[in-house]
Amino acid sequence: MNNARLLEEANYLYRNNRFNEAACYYRSLASSGHYGSARRLGWMYLLGEGLDVNYSEALKWLSYAAKHDDDEAMFAIGWLYQSMGHENWQEAYKWFKKAAEKEFPAAIYRLAWMHIHCDDYSNASIEDLLIKSSSLGCLRAKRDLGFWRLKSKKGLTAKIRGIWNIVSTFFAVLYVTYRNSNDPRLLF
């Protein structure tokens, strides 16, 4: 079976929650140099999809994909480090920044989120990150931008825009869920 057929089969198995079988195909493809499969396998180890959660295996496969300039793998490595606790936030920040430089929406959102939870950043830079991530389709960023604007001291217009962000995010989530419950905008 050629690689295209193997990938098609792996994706079919994954979509049908047959994770153990899909992992075998992804591992085979990743071992032969397919970095997209390495990314998927890394996520599976990170999230425990059909495999035991194993950060070192996740990091191994995600790093391989990241070396091939895969922005989602860079984001996933940041996610991994952030999941490991505050002592790893600097490493998480580094990887989110790499993915954000490639305009990966969820990474830009995570940078904003980290800025919100650290006192070293200006409100303007946080809002700019939320606006950018939201404009690239990140629904969580759009929601948080709404709450950010509601809490701001910028006046009535900002508050109205904040309410609009929150309400429109609610309807966007409903629409996206109706169209495709596996849409990545719902995950990050």
Amino acid (1-letter code) at residue 36: G
* Domain end call among 45, 60, 95: 95
Instruction: Let me know whether 9 and 88 are in one domain.
Output: yes
Instruction: Let me know whether 90 and 135 are in one domain.
Output: no
Please say whether the beta carbons of 46 and 79 come within 8 A: yes
pLDDT at 183 over 80: no
Handedness of CA 145, 146, 150, 155 (dihedral sign): positive
Instruction: Let me know whether 85 and 167 are in one domain.
Output: no
Instruction: Let me know whether 84 and 112 are in one domain.
Output: no
What's the total number of domains in the chain?
2
Tell me, what CATH number does 78's domain have?
Answer: 1.25.40.10
What integer pLDDT is reported at residue 90 of this predicted model? Answer: 93
What integer pLDDT is reported at residue 1 of this predicted model? Answer: 65
Please say whether the beta carbons of 142 and 169 come within 8 A: yes
Tokens read off for 163: 């309410």
Instruction: Let me know whether 116 and 143 are in one domain.
Output: yes
Amino acid (1-letter code) at residue 57: E
Tens digit of pLDDT for each residue in 107-154?
999 999 999 887 677 778 999 999 999 999 999 999 999 999 999 888
Domain extent for 66: 1-95
**Residue 14: which residues within 8 A CB-CB, separation 6 or more?**
22, 26, 40
Instruction: Let me know whether 91 and 112 are in one domain.
Output: no
Tens digit of pLDDT for each residue in 19-58?
999 999 999 999 999 999 999 999 999 999 999 999 999 9
Instruction: Let me know whether 88 and 130 are in one domain.
Output: no
Instruction: Let me know whether 4 and 73 are in one domain.
Output: yes
Q: With 0.85 as the threshold, say if the pTM is over it.
A: yes
